[in-house]
Amino acid sequence: MLDPNTLKNKHIPPATIKRLSTYVQVLEDLARDNIKVISSVPLAEACGVQSSQIRKDLAYFGEFGIRGVGYHVKSLIQAITSALGIDREWPMILVGVGNLGRAMINHLSANAQGFVIKAIFDCDPFKIGEKVHGFEVYPTQEIKHIVDALGIVIGIITTPPERAQRAAQFLIDAGITSILNFAKARLKVPETVQVEYVDFFRHMYALAFKHIQAGRHDL
Amino acid sequence: MLDPNTLKNKHIPPATIKRLSTYVQVLEDLARDNIKVISSVPLAEACGVQSSQIRKDLAYFGEFGIRGVGYHVKSLIQAITSALGIDREWPMILVGVGNLGRAMINHLSANAQGFVIKAIFDCDPFKIGEKVHGFEVYPTQEIKHIVDALGIVIGIITTPPERAQRAAQFLIDAGITSILNFAKARLKVPETVQVEYVDFFRHMYALAFKHIQAGRHDL
């Protein structure tokens, strides 16, 4: 029942997928604290959602939890990651070896969970050949070659905003259809290409606005 | 009409606030390309939403756009940032000067937009006193003192997951009510404290799952 192939025909809302990632994070916190079983109410509280929401989200993937007992923490992590297809390896490349790129290379190496950077690229001739956390920087012209050779699935963009579209074009021309964009720019891509935007400022805007609304703006 | 004080009594959905940040990003892309005016249909397309959604979101803040002409790019950026209260300074501190912390210090210094890091902290005695991008690393015990002295509003956590809760406690004890959490851990906070989670894996999970659903998983 957790074979990802059976999920192809189901429409699972994007919001559910995003909440599942929160559930995994909370469950991993619990596992780290050596908690083996949790019931749905405290789990929901820790995730910041209603317990009915958790039950509804998990129901897309099968039957979980034991009535009167709760969820077995490690089994649920395994079930969710398996259902999401994130319990296998997802080979990635990164384009843009500036400060943000270097941090992400290091951060993702330390917290891989199947999302593994295989090669890194930059268009700056002075960076080509440099070693960064064990990776040699390749020229962006080599992207297609490496994507084909290593079966890369996800491309990460960490360039300055004005170079993000060019980086995206290299990825798309290499056949990449999944892009994680850290650059502060929107990308124009064909419909077959998925882009996830990591936008730090979006979160800061939200904090600032809530702060004003709470009437705490006493600067 | 754009005085943030008048917005206190309006309930503006969090999803609207987050979309406004996308609109600002798209408008800044347009401004960089020297585009002065844009009509709602191409603006909506670039933002990945319906044009009716943009009109609805902007309506919370007043009347924008000129019928038959569109939106004046720079005025709309100014109006949205002013409405969100992000056209003033938001002093921040950062806790956790590891690789991710260093990258964020540098990244946010280069793209401040009012969100300005004023001081950085770590609990590692070997890091105290070190200079990072022009900031001296202070011990976490100094957080309350600095928050009071500099009127800090937002606390950023970039610690390893197992130290995030402790960092949050230092911030909360110092009176901080707005936290941006990059650590891969959920935080337990009082109801008066807002936490925004920046979760890279959430985006990678979404890409991986969409990739499987699109039937492209041919690894």
Domain assignment present for B217: no
Same domain, B78 and B150: no
Would you call A12 and B161 a contact, using CB atoms and an 8 Å cutoff?
no
* Residue A63 pLDDT exceeds 80: no
Strand spans (E) along chain B: 37-38, 71-72, 90-95, 115-122, 131-132, 135-139, 154-157, 178-181, 194-197
Same domain, A144 and A76: no
pLDDT at B18: 81
Q: Write phi, then psi, for A158 (nearest 5 degrees).
A: -130, 35
Contact A207, B154 (CB under 8 A): yes
Count how many residues are written for chain B. 219
Q: Which residue has the higher pLDDT, A60 or A173?
A: A173
* Residue A110 pLDDT exceeds 80: no
Domain assignment present for A131: yes
Same domain, B57 and B152: no
pTM score, whole prediction? 0.79
Greatest mean pLDDT range, A58-67, A207-216, B3-12, B176-185: B176-185
* Residue A8 pLDDT exceeds 50: no
Domain boundary among A84, A101, A116: A84
For tokens 């930059």, the residue is A122
Domain assignment present for B65: yes
Q: Which two tokens stand for residue A215?
A: 């009437």
Indicate the number of domains in chain A: 2
At A217, the pLDDT band (50, 70, 90 cuts) reads: very low
Can you give the residue range of the structural domain that contains A11? 4-84
Contact A61, A35 (CB under 8 A): no
Contact B104, B183 (CB under 8 A): no
Chain B residues whose beta carbon lies within 8 Å of the beta carbon of residue A100: 103, 106-107
Chain B residue closest to A175 (CA)? B216
Domain boundary among B55, B84, B113: B84
Among candidate residues B184, B22, B156, the one with its CA nearest the CA of residue A196: B22
Same domain, B140 and B78: no
ipTM strictly over 0.90? no
pLDDT at A10: 65
Domain assignment present for A215: no
Among the partner-chain residues B86, B208, B216, the one whose CB lies closest to the CB of A84 is B208
Same domain, B19 and B66: yes
* Residue A91 pLDDT exceeds 70: yes
Same domain, A78 and A94: no
Domain assignment present for B211: no
Domain assignment present for A24: yes
Domain assignment present for A128: yes
Contact B209, A153 (CB under 8 A): no
Q: Which two tokens stand for residue A177?
A: 């259809």
In one letter, which amino acid is A28?
E
CATH number of domain containing A78? 1.10.10.10
Same domain, A56 and A152: no
Question: Rounded CA gap, B38 and B213, in Å?
Answer: 35
Q: Which residue has the higher pLDDT, B200 or A174?
A: A174
Question: Rounded CA gap, A92 and A183, in Å?
Answer: 17
Same domain, B109 and B185: yes
pLDDT at A100: 85
Q: Which residue has the higher pLDDT, B110 or A73?
A: A73
Domain boundary among A84, A115, A130: A84
Same domain, B65 and B136: no
Q: Which residues pair with A70 in a beta bridge?
A: A66
CATH number of domain containing A187? 3.40.50.720
Would you call B213 and A26 a contact, using CB atoms and an 8 Å cutoff?
no
Chain A residue closest to B151 (CA)? A219
pLDDT under 50 in chain B at which residues? 1-5, 8-9, 217-219
Same domain, B66 and B109: no
Which range (A61-65, A127-131, B191-195) has the least confidence? A61-65
- Chain A and chain B share a number of CB contacts under 8 A equal to 220
Domain assignment present for A213: no
Angle at B147 between CA B146 and CA B151, to 5 degrees: 115
pLDDT at B217: 46
Contact A218, B90 (CB under 8 A): no
Same domain, A101 and A17: no
Q: List the strands of the sheet with B90-95, edge to edge.
A: B131-132, B135-139, B115-122, B90-95, B154-157, B178-181, B194-197
Same domain, B122 and B44: no
DSSP-H helix ranges across chain A: 4-7, 14-32, 40-47, 51-59, 73-84, 99-110, 143-150, 161-173, 200-213
* Residue A219 pLDDT exceeds 70: no
Q: Which two tokens stand for residue A49?
A: 């959602």
C-alpha dihedral over A167, A168, A169, A173, to 10 degrees?
110
Q: Which two tokens stand for residue B34?
A: 């020297």
